[in-house]
Amino acid sequence: MTQARRHQHEPSDAASSTTGGVAVNGEFRVPLPDGATLHALSQGQGRPLLLVSGLAGSTAFWDDNAATLARSFQVLRFDQRGIGSSDRGSAPCTIDQLAKDCLAVLDAAGVERATVLGHSTGGCIGLSLARQAPDRFDGLIVSGSWLKQNRYMTALFETRLAILDQHPRAYAASAALMTYPPTWLEAHWSVYETAVATAPDTPEAKQIVRERIGALRAFDASRWAGEIAAPTLILGARDDMIVPAFLQEELAAAMPGARKTLLDTGGHYFPISRPDAFTANVAEWIGAL
């Protein structure tokens, strides 16, 4: 789930539409009680849409999608704690804590209710947030995510941790090779090169990755996912090697009111490799709420 570092968009000139609190536009900072400060962005106007990235935790994951979605929505996104321009703070790194951080972003943006779109680990964060603060939701989109750990993911992340400890550049290289369809990656090889060049090769960066993998491995929504009342869309790709499509099937079975859409191709990073299909599904579903 390592991704290429991309250029951030310049702040939009349009005023943001919010309910409650103070409207923000462009870049803003979100101070947290444990001493962390999150770097966040607001783009566009319309119904609020909070984007929550996966293991890598960066706003940059959403660059292309955010530019498209901001034509119709007020798009919020942020570097998660310890990632990019955001401080780590002292709070434990758990899915529930990362969900609380999302609430702080909404509060700082003056947004009372939003649709929350989380990809991969971000989907787990979205599920936790929907459980903690159901009154803040217009809708929930769970993209390339899962209900609970299983043998496949346990083996995958144990292997990735072993590679991280011994060879961080190989960790980043293998992640890029697994997250994109081979034909797409061959045609966008700079993505692979950037991923390797920005590998987590310092002790501090390795620790951030370890604790975030620990958080996703500890996540288990099997006892309560079916109680989530927010309208829910589950998105996935049939050729995903990180979070295989059978895990979206399992999640959909646990949330019988949810709508499920699986793309035939796209790999784990289908929001990047299939941006038109991804944003079209998102915009159509939100528009029907």
pLDDT digits (tens, 9 = 90+) for 130-173: 999 999 999 999 999 999 999 999 999 999 999 999 999 999 99
Q: Give the strand order in the sheet containing 232-237.
A: 26-31, 37-43, 73-78, 47-52, 114-119, 137-143, 232-237, 259-263
Q: Which CATH class is domain 26-151+220-287?
A: alpha beta
pLDDT digits (tens, 9 = 90+) for 219-260: 999 999 999 999 999 999 999 999 999 999 999 999 999 999
Which residues, other chains included, contact 91 with Cβ-Cβ below 8 Å and sequence gap of 6+?
32, 34, 36, 81, 97
Nearest to 28 by CA among 67, 82, 68, 86: 86
Give the pLDDT of residue 244: 97
Length of the chain in terms of residues written: 289
pLDDT digits (tens, 9 = 90+) for 27-70: 999 999 999 999 999 999 999 999 999 999 999 999 999 999 99
Residue 13 pLDDT grade (very low, low, confident, very high; cuts 50, 70, 90): very low
Q: How many CB atoms within 10 Å of residue 17?
A: 16
Residue 25 pLDDT grade (very low, low, confident, very high; cuts 50, 70, 90): confident
pLDDT digits (tens, 9 = 90+) for 169-223: 999 999 999 999 999 999 999 999 999 999 999 999 999 999 999 999 999 999 9
Give the pLDDT of residue 23: 53
Give the pLDDT of residue 12: 34
The residue ranking higher by pLDDT, 18 or 186, is: 186
Q: What is the CA radius of gyration of the chain?
A: 17
Break the chain into its structural domains and give their ranges: 26-151+220-287
pLDDT digits (tens, 9 = 90+) for 75-131: 999 999 999 999 999 999 999 999 999 999 999 999 999 999 999 999 999 999 999
Give the pLDDT of residue 24: 67
CB 132 within 8 A of CB 96: yes
Which residues, other chains included, contact 238 with Cβ-Cβ below 8 Å and sequence gap of 6+?
245, 262, 263, 264, 265
Give the pLDDT of residue 8: 33
> Is the C-alpha dihedral spanning 253, 258, 262, 268 positive or negative?
negative
Q: DSSP labels for 255-279?
A: STT-EEEEESS--TTHHHHSHHHHH
- What backbone phi and psi angles, to 5 degrees, belong to 88? -75, -45
- What backbone phi and psi angles, to 5 degrees, belong to 156? -60, -50
CB 138 within 8 A of CB 47: yes
